Amino acid sequence: MQIGDGISITEFASRRTAVLDALGRSAAVVFAGDGPPSLHGIWEPDWNFYYLTGIRDEPGAAILFDPESEDPKRCAILFLKPRNPEVEAWDGYRDPITTSLKDSTGFATIMRTTMLPRMLTAAARKRKSLACLHPFAVYDGPVSPDLAVFRKAAERCLGVAIHDQTNLLPSMRAVKSRAELAVMEDACQATAAGYAAVARFIKPGVNEKDVQRALETGFREGGGTGTGYNSIVGAGLNSTVLHYNANNGTAHDGDLLLIDAAARVNGYTADVTRTFPVNGRFTREQRAVYEVVLAALEAGIRAVKPGTHMHQVEAAARKAIEKAGYGDAFIHGIGHQLGIEVHDSTPDGPLKPGMIVTVEPGIYIPEKKLGIRLEDDILVTRTGPKNLTAMIPKRPDEVEASMRARRKRAHRQATVISD
């Protein structure tokens, strides 16, 4: 079983204790989700389950919270699917329920999921109160998994009330602990290494896929354990497509190359966007638009502080873009929470110290094949915003200089080899 990802078992246990304290007398359940892994990737758990356990490789698992359990060892129970030797021969061998497994997960009680209906129904009958922790679905989507089973339990017990606690886990996840912040800072450093490595590949005639390959190699060499999301590497017209990910075009002389990509370190990801001139120098028009986006980024960052809402951050950035006459060319929101997911769980209410958000203004003019976006990761502190990705060059002179410096280094290395 894979557990932790750089966060201690003690911290996961403390998160579960915080949930128990917030639930009062209500019982609740968090599901890991189920289903086989994709042949194109690995199975991933519900990220609320992961946040509370550190477990990412147990499909079908669940946690039952019962704060008023008569047995204190059963206030938080981990449920795992029964072992199946034939399935394990395909997907990997799983641990038996032993004292060692309990110690490694931090759960005093672990049961098989065949016991969950009995234990949840008993909790519903005794407590008469169930709390939804999974986010509610939109009205035309599937009912959230905990609400679905609560309705079944309520049909079988009298007087059971179901309450909304869906803001609890987003509120917890959004405010990062010291350990989480340390991992995210590592992700930002690995991301910086990737952007530093990729500049030598950006030149007329280069394929977007080659740039992506160099970038992601730089992430790994900088300490990353993977990418946080599908890398966007778009040149020319492709730079104006927000979620472009074909990454198979050619970067031509005079194009801009927009890169939106970041490293993941263990369970947490960065999220960064930079825009490069393919030939190493911005044209006068490109630089003028770039400076508008940069001014919007800086205005948005300045607005990131406790008590501010993200719509106010967007208003600050949008003001700079609208003033320059490009309001209709800024077609997306300013940013989002960042953490376990690149678009991380978002609580209700204003920003608080310890949150990490992105600020990412952009201007997109397809008829000129010109797309510019800049994005940094900002920690909310009591004394103001802290830019965790400020080390990655973004001022136009710095971008051009970084490309020149690395090309000169590559030229010197080539000369030494030829000699």
For 347-379, the pLDDT digits (tens) are: 999 999 999 999 999 999 999 999 999 999 999
In the chain, where are the structural domains located? 9-166, 175-413
Answer yes or no: is pLDDT of 250 > 60: yes
Q: Nearest CA to 380 among 351, 402, 401?
A: 351
Answer yes or no: is pLDDT of 28 > 90: yes
Please tell me the predicted confidence (pLDDT) of residue 219. Answer: 98
Whole-angstrom distance, CA of residue 397 vs CA of residue 282: 9
Half-sphere exposure of 259 (CA within 13 A, CB side): 32
3-state secondary structure 100-150: HHHHHHCCCEEEEHHHHHHHHHHHHHHHCEEEECCCCCCCCCCCCHHHHHH
Answer yes or no: is pLDDT of 417 > 90: no
Q: Whole-model pTM?
A: 0.93
Whole-angstrom distance, CA of residue 351 vs CA of residue 195: 29
**CB neighbours of residue 394 within 10 Å:** 21
Domain 175-413 has CATH 3.90.230.10: yes
Please tell me the predicted confidence (pLDDT) of residue 109. Answer: 98
* pLDDT one-digit tens code per residue, 184-239: 999 999 999 999 999 888 999 999 999 999 999 999 999 999 999 999 999 999 99
Q: Is 142 left (phi over 0), alpha (psi -120 to 50) or beta?
A: beta
Band (410; pLDDT cuts 50, 70, 90):
low
Please tell me the predicted confidence (pLDDT) of residue 414. Answer: 47
175-413 matches 9-166 in CATH topology: no
Distance of CA 367 to the CA centre of its chain: 32
The CATH homologous superfamily for domain 9-166 is: Creatinase/prolidase N-terminal domain (3.40.350.10)
Band (90; pLDDT cuts 50, 70, 90):
confident
Answer yes or no: is pLDDT of 268 > 90: yes
Mean pLDDT of 323-333: 97
Amino acid letter, residue 172: M
* pLDDT one-digit tens code per residue, 282-327: 999 999 999 999 999 999 999 999 999 999 999 999 999 999 999 9
Distance of CA 327 to the CA centre of its chain: 28
What interhelical angle do 208-221 and 178-198 show, nearest 10? 140
Report whether 291 contacts 418 (CB < 8 A). no
Mean pLDDT of 116-125: 97
Q: Which residues contact 62 (CB under 8 A, 6 or more apart)?
A: 29, 30, 31, 32, 49, 78, 79, 113, 116
Please tell me the predicted confidence (pLDDT) of residue 406. Answer: 54
Q: Which residues contact 259 (CB under 8 A, 6 or more apart)?
A: 195, 198, 211, 215, 231, 232, 233, 273, 274, 275, 276
Q: Across all residues in the chain, what is the average pLDDT?
A: 94
Exposure string (b/e) for 325-355, b if CB count within 10 Å is 16 or more?
ebeebbeeebbbbbbbbbebbbbeeebeebb
